[in-house]
Amino acid sequence: MLYNYFTVSIPLFPKPTINDGTQKTMSETISDILDSSSIEQLNSLIKKAQEEIERKKVDEIQVTRHRWIEQATTLGMSPEEILKYTGRRKGKPKYRNPNNPEQTWTGRGKRPNWLKDAPDPEAYRIPE
């Protein structure tokens, strides 16, 4: 197979060096590889790169999932509860529409039309 024709070794933590112009940068090296490769080799490189991207995604997702579970546990919650959490407390309804009892208003925010049009809004107040 032709895709083993070249190998690029990228150190995890490269040693800091001063480039005096005699060393090639990574982008120059990659450009040289791309320029000197055949279409078959480039297609093979693309396939390998896509496979590596998918592998890294799986690894990142596993790390993220583990971190979420740890943080949720620290807060005494499940990861699902964290995803659903909005940070807002749901207010207790103070007003109810007599024509549609499912419509309520907490008294916060914009006043609903059914209460705006009411001659006596206090008549819609829910007894405590």
pLDDT at site 45:
92
Same domain, 63 and 112: no
Q: Summarize pLDDT for 20-58 with one digit per residue, the tens.
A: 667 778 888 888 888 998 999 999 999 999 999 999 999
Same domain, 50 and 100: no
Same domain, 27 and 69: yes
Average pLDDT, the chain: 84
Token duo for residue 23: 């060393």
Query: How many CA atoms lie less than 13 Å away from 38 in the CB half-sphere?
Result: 7
Q: Summarize pLDDT for 65-88 with one digit per residue, the tens.
A: 999 999 999 999 998 888 888 777
**Cut 0.75: pTM above it:** no
Same domain, 113 and 76: no
Residue 33 lies inside a defined structural domain of this protein = yes
How many domains, in total, are found in the chain?
Answer: 2
Q: Which domain holds residue 67?
A: 23-84
Same domain, 75 and 29: yes
Q: Is the pLDDT of residue 89 over 80?
A: no
